[in-house]
Amino acid sequence: MAILKQGRLAALLLSGTIICSTPTLAHADLYFAAGATSENTVVVSIEIDRDYSLQHWHPQLSLRLATGVLLLPGDEGDDNAAWRLTPAFRYTFAGERGVFAEAGIGAGVFLNTHLEGQELSTAFQFEDRLAIGIPFAGGELGASLMHYSNAGIKRPNDGFETLMLSYRTAF
């Protein structure tokens, strides 16, 4: 069973790597986040993302596209991980490098459908994301709240939330 999980994790990481290697993400940023879930599980996220200006709609609006891995180490072998794809609209206050707020709906594909006693029912989960942040030390410091659920595709639909602190930097 452990070999199967490792194979699925390798496939997940390979898929994310292939998507991240596309030319449109050639100037992407590296994003690290750590926090906890609503089930008191530690959560770590490593992503590659990129902002696209939407100045033709509004001078302070942009679209952030992110992909990466969400790692959820559990107790007694109840580990989980997900590959995520997260678009989010970003509104920047007071100029290009001011405080920002983000909101988006994305998706994640999880390795298994259990997380610390929660039954997710499906490997596919929607991700609702709210975040705030500020420029800091040549990058960005932020906080985000995310909710994962399958939107009632299959029961039970326990879902879970994560609260994370993050740092984003160019590479």
* Active-site choice (45, 62, 144, 149): 149
Give the active site residue among 15, 39, 116, 147.
Answer: 147
If one counts the domains in the chain, the total is: 1
Is 161 annotated as catalytic? yes
Tell me the average pLDDT across 79-84: 93
Q: What percent of the chain lies above the pLDDT cut of 90?
A: 55
What residues pair up with 110 in beta bridges, in sequence order?
Answer: 82
140 is catalytic: no
- Statement: residue 84 has pLDDT above 90: yes
Please indicate whether residue 147 is annotated as part of the active site.
yes
The whole-model pTM stands at 0.81
**Mean pLDDT confidence for 17-21:** 50
Q: What domain range is 103 assigned to?
A: 2-170
Q: CA-to-CA distance for 36 and 73, rounded, in angstroms?
A: 11
- DSSP symbol at 85: E
Tokens 């033709």 belong to residue = 56
Residue 133 has pLDDT above 90, yes or no: yes
Of 84, 122, 91, 80, the C-alpha closest to 105 is 84
Q: Radius of gyration of the chain from Cα atoms?
A: 16
pLDDT confidence band for 8 (50 / 70 / 90): low
Residue 78 sits in a domain whose CATH number is 2.40.160.20
CA distance 115 to 105: 21
